Amino acid sequence: MPSPLFDTATPLAPLRAELDAAIARVVDSGKYILGPEVSAFEREFAGYCGARHAIGVANGTEALTIALRSLGVGPGDEVVVPSFTFYASAEAIPPTGARPVFCDVDRETFCVTPDTVRAALTPRTKAVIVVHLFGNVAPVAEIEALGVPVIEDAAQAAGSTARDGRPGALGTLASFSFFPSKNLGCFGDGGAITTRDDELADRIRMLRFHGSWDKVTYEHVGYNSRLDELQAAILRVQLPHLDTWADGRRAAAQHYEDAGLGELVELPRPVAGARPAWHLYVVRSERADELAAALRAAGHGYKAYYRTPVHLQPAMREYAGDADLPATTEVARTHLAIPISPVLTAELAAEVVSAAREAGLAVAY
Ligand SMILES: Cc1ncc(COP(=O)(O)O)c(C=O)c1O
């Protein structure tokens, strides 16, 4: 049976009546912006993450920009960010006036490490954006110990855990995206910023509403960037199921291992102490194109997400300098996402693995 790259519909099907009721509740309330649903979701999501505050914003990209602004990042500053990530992780930096400085990742975890971040630090570094890529969890505490505030880009890591807590509560600030395909996704765009710091939380609330503390006087140039009531109500229905879905994603990864996928390609390695809720299940192979062709022939989903890393994208040319990022170059060439979802069965995983096996792949590293 063909397996899609991801399946957002099946896990939501049993929640349909609850979702319909939540949507009707908002429509009937007549409150659509910054009302009780957003407040309740912010409370519930902060509690889930183990952060003191969650502030709903319009999307995960603006969550990063606003998080940077709340730290006072501006012209003349540098922000370290990996190049092997979704473009938005770096795109969020220039609107603050600061420059992205690209760092490398670990080829087995796809995440930054204290060493790759240290290599990119300068006296102008004001913050580091650490991406929990594909649901893995980067070692935030070790990186923050380098002496710079860390913003976790947790867009892909809702539901994951680390030794010392959940994404969202590991660094100074964290950003989330609730884009529909994410581990926790709404029915449009949405995002949030979490922090344990009361002062940063106040500043973020001010920045998301046009830079005004009291909605009368406008002291800062801010943003119109809010999670809306409908999306918050939809997220509140889903949040209690996030851990079950995360378990399903981990079980799917285990099905791949049990079916022998590790004999054919390099499997993603969790960062020490992390239990990733794999948002994407990304393997590596020198023969990634042949793997893609074999999966296509069998009707399975696959995708190479970041063949051109961010520092080589045209819009980032002025910031890339002579960045030498060997692991980024390698994983950009060799990675391939294969089907993953909270409901991927052992049978489907075995079919994907047998399609890969028929292509005659073997671990080449
Ligand atoms: C790692 C990462 N950062 C940032 C974003 C941006 O989120 P959004 O699409 O909600 O702006 C995404 C997702 O799209 C992402 O995957």
Reference 62, options 204, 225, 230, 231; nearest CA is 225
Angle at 158 between CA 11 and CA 114, to 5 degrees: 145
Dihedral sign for Cα atoms in the order 246, 247, 253, 256: negative
The reported pLDDT for the residue numbered 364 is 54
The reported pLDDT for the residue numbered 365 is 45
* Collapsed DSSP state (helix, strand, coil) of residue 320: helix
The reported pLDDT for the residue numbered 362 is 72
As beta bridge partners, residue 56 has 192
Q: How far, in Å, CA of 127 to CA of 71, rounded?
A: 8
Reference 151, options 121, 195, 183, 199; nearest CA is 195
Please report the atom of ligand 1 found closest to the CA of residue 178.
Answer: 10
Q: Among 85, 177, 226, say which to mutate for ligand 1: greatest number of ligand atoms within 8 Å of CB.
A: 177
HEC-encoded secondary structure of 245-263? HHHHHHHHHHHHHHCCHHH
Residue nearest to atom 3 of ligand 1 (CA): 89
The alpha carbon of 279 and the centre of ligand 1 are apart by a number of angstroms equal to 12
The alpha carbon of 333 and the centre of ligand 1 are apart by a number of angstroms equal to 21
Please give all residues whose beta carbon lies within 6 A of any atom in ligand 1, as ranges.
59-61, 85-86, 88-89, 131, 153, 155-156, 177, 179, 189, 191
Reference 39, options 168, 177, 228, 199; nearest CA is 228
**Residue 275: φ, ψ to 5°:** -120, 90
DSSP labels, 43-88: HHHHHHHT-SEEEEES-HHHHHHHHHHHTT--TT-EEEEESSS-TH
The alpha carbon of 193 and the centre of ligand 1 are apart by a number of angstroms equal to 13
The alpha carbon of 168 and the centre of ligand 1 are apart by a number of angstroms equal to 15
The alpha carbon of 165 and the centre of ligand 1 are apart by a number of angstroms equal to 22
Reference 350, options 250, 257, 246; nearest CA is 257
The reported pLDDT for the residue numbered 141 is 97
Please report the atom of ligand 1 found closest to the CA of residue 177.
Answer: 10
Which residues of the chain are under the pLDDT cut of 50? 365
Please report the atom of ligand 1 found closest to the CA of residue 182.
Answer: 13
Q: How far, in Å, CA of 204 to CA of 80, rounded?
A: 21
Q: How far, in Å, CA of 293 to CA of 308, rounded?
A: 20
* Collapsed DSSP state (helix, strand, coil) of residue 327: helix
